[in-house]
Structure 1
Amino acid sequence: MNLSVLLLVLTILGVPLSITFGNESEKKVLQEDVGSGRSIFPWYFPFLPQWKGVNIGGEFNTIKSPEDVGFFMTRAFSSLLISNIGWLIVHILFWRGTVTRSDELQFPFNIITLFFGSNDSGDSDELLLPNSEGEINGNDLINFYTDPKVATQNLIISGGFTLFTLLLWIIPTFFWSGRPLPTKNTDSRVSRLYNIIDHVRSGGNSVDIYNRLLCPQCVSVIISINVLLFLGKWIFWSVLSELPDSPAFGVPNDASRSLKDDDESLGMALLHDAIDNFLNTLDVNVNNIIKDIETRDKQYV
């Protein structure tokens, strides 16, 4: 009982103490050398020492600046626009109907057969010129976004892409030497963001955004990011294809039935096993305590 009270008091007192030490450490961040650790909560990244000394709050504020917000929004919209227009152009230039033989593929799509081989589905006397607009079905688009099964697949894919993209952003930091390589431009930008629209309008500069988007170095950065994202997708699909099949689990149709006809669901089975293990461990510990007490009583008797 006394131990519980002591832990509670330490927990309550620990909150203001951590805030106090946090404020002091924030004042010392600017005085620390590059690559040195911060005194506040160093155990957050025990396996990522390269992040010690990084002012995460400051970096978060930096990316909220109006010039950065305008830059990323413009880049995202430009990528979306160019990508969609590019797919439309490719469709208009190369689509000549459903292909049934590999020799019907035009350049550059016939290169696909070099990597994946040819898989002919039958003979085709001629290729019709379809009406692309007539093949678009609004209900298919609605089903794609509203079908829970399709949504589950998309969530798994998006989650996997996000996970591997995060890993690809973290892995290069292990090669950080502690100091940035020399560059010609060493200007730093620090500002705040309150409202995404008003803030961009008040502080954004279309000339700077244009220069940051279209300069040769900027374009090379965008290309490298796209290559990085593609690499993450490639690794994700490679790993996913090697994983074993997952057992059936999920939410049963009603409370009295599980996803399996003759057995309980995986989630309930794991829960029951965890409860059984906990009760068994508790029973063993209680028995050991009772035996120790009985042994001590016999010694004193």
Structure 2
Amino acid sequence: METSTDYDRSKELKTFDDTKAASKGSSMPSEDVPSAKLDEDYGDSFQVPVIDLKDVLDPAEHEDIIEKMRLASEKWGFFQVINHGIPQDVMNKVSGCVQSFHEQPGEVKMKFYSQALIEYSENVQSLGRILFGLLSEALGLNPSHFTDMGCMEGHSFVCHYYPACPEPDRTIEHAKHCDPDFITILLQYQTGLQVLHQDHWIDINPLEGALKVNIGDLLQLILNDKLRSSEHRVLDKCEGPRISVACFFTAHFQASNRLYGLIKELLSADNPPLYKLTLIKDYLNSFSIKDYNDSALAFLRLK
């Protein structure tokens, strides 16, 4: 079939990939993706909260940290943590290994990548326990409430590598979404991550040594919307490769048949149940079939 152009998309895609100018995550060139309009006029009033955990064991500071985490989780669904206890060299190592994994020949990829991820996994497991404890206290629950109900029984990693892109305005990476877990801990040094806050896309600027934390759908569900799982997205904005290591605390693989319901201690006449009892696998089905503009939680709300 004759066309009015000599453009060969297959050839261009191959050339794009061969030069490593295309992402090895979910970004790819597109003829019809519009340039993103960023919200950049809101100053310091629209900055994702940063929580310092340095004095979390100090009784004089503990309550203040809990309150900051509660407000951040209610209003934003996102916050960054600093002085979280994971050594900088451990974070640098796992980030560097993700990059090496994608840039080295296949036969040398796995050994160092696996070692670094195991070391980081052990550290992030400890941080997750601290965060779940603080969130429990912020809600007036026993510090071990979330761990006792299985929120930490499984965690999985998604490691992304996006090489530098010569035409970032013609790519789209992760579309807006909420995470299908209890909480996510994200290691990412570069720009590009945005959270939807008060109908505006807000940049979550990286801080040295900081980790990003966000509330997932499953935590919002069992808390009856007390904390929020916010939509977020990733844009291709950095000059060099963008590397991210996301840890999802979830029971998907261990307990797909487990029935999760609302935490009764949080319910009252003024806070009636919003969701029905839900199997993890039913939530996952909702997540997989949801419309682009809908939340998976919408399918599980009581009528």
Determine which structure has more spread, i.e. the larger CA radius of gyration.
Answer: 1
Q: Give the shorter-chain TM-score range.
A: under 0.3
Structure (1 or 2) with the greater strand fraction: 2
**Please, what TM-score do these two structures have when normalized by structure 2?**
0.20
Give TM-score, length-normalised by structure 1: 0.20
